[in-house]
Chain A
Amino acid sequence: ETGVTQTPRHLVMGMTNKKSLKCEQHLGHNAMYWYKQSAKKPLELMFVYNFKEQTENNSVPSRFSPECPNSSHLFLHLHTLQPEDSALYLCASSQFRTDTQYFGPGTRLTVL
């Protein structure tokens, strides 16, 4: 247990669905991150939030919409995804942006 939880662990959705991924950290950290892990590719940073403010958007398509209502929770809202968006989505947190990041278990997303 890293202190970072993610729900759901698995999600199957159609291209017209709207769904949300949730991440919660119990570590008192100030920065939170969304990463994407596609098959045979390295972990790719999607978004960074620092003290609830978005500081990085790594050219992510608008069909992915992050939300950080407080420093403990991070959401990734999904809308009209494509099959190529199927991947493992990992959330992480750190005390400050340059510190060790603690990862959640991930959500395995399949888009049909």
Chain B
Amino acid sequence: ILNVEQSPQSLHVQEGDSTNFTCSFPSSNFYALHWYRWETAKSPEALFVMTLNGDEKKKGRISATLNTKEGYSYLYIKGSQPEDSATYLCAPLSGYALNFGKGTSLLVTP
């Protein structure tokens, strides 16, 4: 089981603000990092799977970067919208198991 830290624990921004969160994980034996988005009363939804150091992925207004040497990943949301309100989870892969962090809970108000 890996020690995965996500910060901040929660975040409240205004519509239109850009924001970012951090995921920290052990850098040794890295294989892949998954990001998920979990809206209340819904299933967690996959955002990105990242494997290479320096990787950058983008999906609409959401992007993520990966630094495997220092063990962190950033998730960015540009121009936040109320529908972005959710908990964002990161999960490095250890062996064949995903180790989830506690997540960053984002609230975007109009």
User: Bound state CA distance, A58 and B43, in angstroms?
Assistant: 22
Are B46 and A58 in contact (CB-based, < 8 A)? no
Known A-B contacts A55-B96, A100-B34; the reply to A105 vs B42 at CB < 8 A is: yes
- Total residues of chain B contacting the partner, CB 8 A: 23
Task: Answer whether residue A22 sits at the interface, using C-beta atoms and an 8 A cutoff.
Answer: no
B interface: dominant SS: loop
Q: Which residues of chain A have C-beta atoms less than 8 A from B89's C-beta?
A: 42-43
CB distance from B54 to the nearest CB of A (A): 20
A1-40 residues with Cβ-Cβ distance < 8 A to B are 2, 4, 40
Identity of the chain A residue whose Cβ is nearest the Cβ of B31 in the assembled complex: A98
B-to-A contact residues, CB < 8 Å: 1, 4, 31-32, 34, 42-46, 49, 89, 91, 93, 95-103
Identity of the chain A residue whose Cβ is nearest the Cβ of B101 in the assembled complex: A42
A interface: dominant SS: loop
Are A101 and B43 in contact (CB-based, < 8 A)? no
Q: Which residues of chain A have C-beta atoms less than 8 A from B93's C-beta?
A: 98
Q: Which residues of chain A have C-beta atoms less than 8 A from B44's C-beta?
A: 43, 90, 103
